[in-house]
A and B are shown apart, each in its own frame.
Chain A
Amino acid sequence: MNPTLTIFIILLPFAAFVINGLLSNKLPHKTAGWLAVIAIGISTILSWQTAVSYFLQSEPYIRQLVVNITWLRFTETLQVDMGILLDPISVMMLVVITTVSLMVFVYSLGYMQGEKGFVRYFAFLSLFSFSMLGLVVATNLFQMYMFWELVGVSSYLLIGYYYNKPEAVAAAKKAFIVTRFADFGFLVGILILSYYTGTFDFITITNPENPAIISMTGISFMGISVLTWAVVLIFMGGAGKSAMFPLHIWLPDAMEGPTPVSALIHAATMVVAGVFLVARMFPVVVFHAPAALDVVAFIGAFTLLFAAIIACTQTDIKRILAFSTMSQIGYMMLALGVSGYGHEGLGFTASMFHLFTHAFFKALLFLGAGSIIHALQANDIRQMGGLRKYQPVTHILFLIACLAIAGIPPFAGFFSKDEILTAALASHTVYFGIATLAAALTAFYMFRLYFLVFWNNERTYAHTPHESPAIMLIPMSVLAGGSVVAGFIPFGNFVTSDLKSLETHVHLNVAVISTAVALAGITIAWLFYKRKSEIPDTIAARLGGLYQTIYRKFYIDEIYLFITKRIIFNLVSQPLAWFDRHIIDGFMDLTATATNWISAELKEFQSGQLQKYAYIFLSGVILIVLVVLYTYS
Chain B
Amino acid sequence: MIDQVPLSHVLSVSSLMFFIGAYGFLTRKNLVTMLIGVELMLNAVNINFVAFDRYLYPSGINGHFFALFIIAIAAAEAAVAIAIFINLYRNIRSIDVEEVDKMKY
Contact = CB atoms under 8 A, between A and B. Distances in A.
Interface of A: 603, 606-611, 614-615, 618
A618 B98 contact: no
B105 A603 contact: yes
Given A610-B100, A615-B26, 18 more contacts: A603-B105, A606-B104, A606-B105, A607-B101, A607-B104, A608-B100, A608-B101, A608-B104, A608-B105, A609-B97, A609-B101, A610-B97, A611-B25, A611-B27, A614-B25, A614-B26, A618-B22, A618-B26
Interface string B78-105: 0000000000000000000110111111
Nearest to A605: B105
21 contacts: A603-B105, A607-B101, A607-B104, A608-B102, A608-B103, A608-B104, A608-B105, A609-B97, A609-B98, A609-B101, A609-B104, A610-B97, A610-B100, A611-B27, A611-B34, A611-B97, A611-B98, A614-B26, A615-B26, A618-B22, A618-B26
Contacts of B100: 608, 610
Contacts of A608: 100-105
Contacts of A603: 105
B97 to A, nearest CB: 5
A610 B98 CA distance: 8
Report which residue of A606, A607, A609, A610 has the largest number of chain B beta carbons within 10 angstroms of its beta carbon. Answer: A610
A15 to B, nearest CB: 62
A618 B98 CA distance: 19
Contacts of A610: 97, 100
Contacts of A607: 101, 104
Nearest to B25: A614
Contacts of B105: 603, 606, 608
Interface string B33-72: 0100000000000000000000000000000000000000
Interface residues of B, number: 13
B101 to A, nearest CB: 3
B104 to A, nearest CB: 3
Interface string B1-28: 0000000000000000000001001110
B87 to A, nearest CB: 16
* Most chain A CB neighbours (cut-off 10 Å) among B22, B27, B104: B104
Contacts of A615: 26
B12 to A, nearest CB: 17
Contacts of B101: 607-609
A609 B103 CA distance: 9
A615 B26 CA distance: 7
A607 B100 CA distance: 10
Nearest to B37: A614
A351 B91 CA distance: 96
Contacts of A611: 25-27, 34, 97-98
B83 to A, nearest CB: 17
A253 to B, nearest CB: 60
Top 7 closest pairs, chain A to chain B, by CB:
A608-B101, A608-B104, A603-B105, A606-B105, A610-B97, A606-B104, A611-B26
A607 B104 CA distance: 5
A394 to B, nearest CB: 80
Contacts of B104: 606-609
Nearest to A603: B105
Among B34, B98, B103: residue with most chain A CB under 10 A: B98
Nearest to A610: B97
A603 B104 CA distance: 9
Contacts of B27: 611
A615 B104 CA distance: 16
Contacts of B98: 609, 611
